Amino acid sequence: MKKAFSERIVREIRGTVLRDEPMARHTSLRVGGPADWFVLPMDADDLQHLLALLDEYRLPFLVLGGGYNLLVRDGGIRGCVISLEKFDQLEREGENLIHAGAGVENAALARFCRDQGLAGLEFLVGIPGRLGGALAMNAGAGGGEITDSLDTLLTLKGRTFMKGEKSQLVFGYRFLQLEQGEIICQASFRLTKDDPAEIRSRMESFLEKRRATQQVGYPNAGSFFKNPPEGPAWRCIDGAKLRGVRIGGAEVSTVHANFLVNRGGASADDFLALAAKVKETVREQFGVELQEEVRIVGEHRER
């Protein structure tokens, strides 16, 4: 079965197909074992055909955004990782509607809206990664969230495309509810007309704030923990005097306490052990339960 699938995926998929691809090459933390298959479909038809193949051979899949909010365990990922990097279409419709593919970089979307004189997504300029990942976690900054301006969402489940209005979606702080196997392909945003110079100024403010507080100097996944009801996660971690604590190559950043960074040669196990230590220490000292904001996937390395 494996040989038959290998022959067919290489022959039938028009996009890029890679075998035993190290996920450390595709995640901002620069850790992660190999994916059995790593595929970049050429377009929606190619994606549909890929999903049909995976279903036929009963192989699991994981959709990758920009790899900025993801920790892949050292054992890697069985099945197929799908990158929608080639889904990078951007277009304007009418006065205030923007259509964007899931593979569009967040900063590129923010700049496109600025050039069109449309406001509402300025904060995306400071959020690394791609639109699909930002939507999947309902990314936000400066008090805004990406769902604030969302109009409709186009997803693919199996071979069926589904278009949902914002009112039909379930979302909240750092989550968007999707069905098992449902893939974000495109989103439409209804924005507000504004002076491009004013939009540029707000974007520069977001970037300046990010540079001042989040330039940690080492590979990272952004905020590692969600903010608990008690307040900012970084304040709890800082109060527990965990800045600079290190396990292997993973360290609690000395610049931003809610960033865990790769100081060089870190493994996923290093990050998992460090995250566990942070959670345990904060729980013991303050009674606060931290939850990871990063998504943790894959298998542990066999010992």
Task: Return the active site residues.
Answer: 174, 223, 293
Indicate the residue type of 34. P
| Angle ∠(25,30,32) on CA atoms, nearest 5 | 75
CB atoms within 10 A of CB 264: 11
Which pair of structure tokens corresponds to residue 261?
């960074």
Alpha-carbon distances, residue 199 vs 92, 120, 206 (angstroms): 17, 9, 11
CB atoms within 10 A of CB 287: 8
Lookup result for tokens 């899949």: 61
Indicate the residue type of 100. A
Contact 123, 141 (CB under 8 A): yes
- CA–CA dist 149, 153 (Å, integer): 11
Residues 6 or more apart whose CB falls under 8 angstroms from that of 122 comprise 110, 113, 114, 199, 202, 203, 206
Which residue, among 288, 217, 229, has the nearest Cα to 254 in the 3D structure?
A: 217
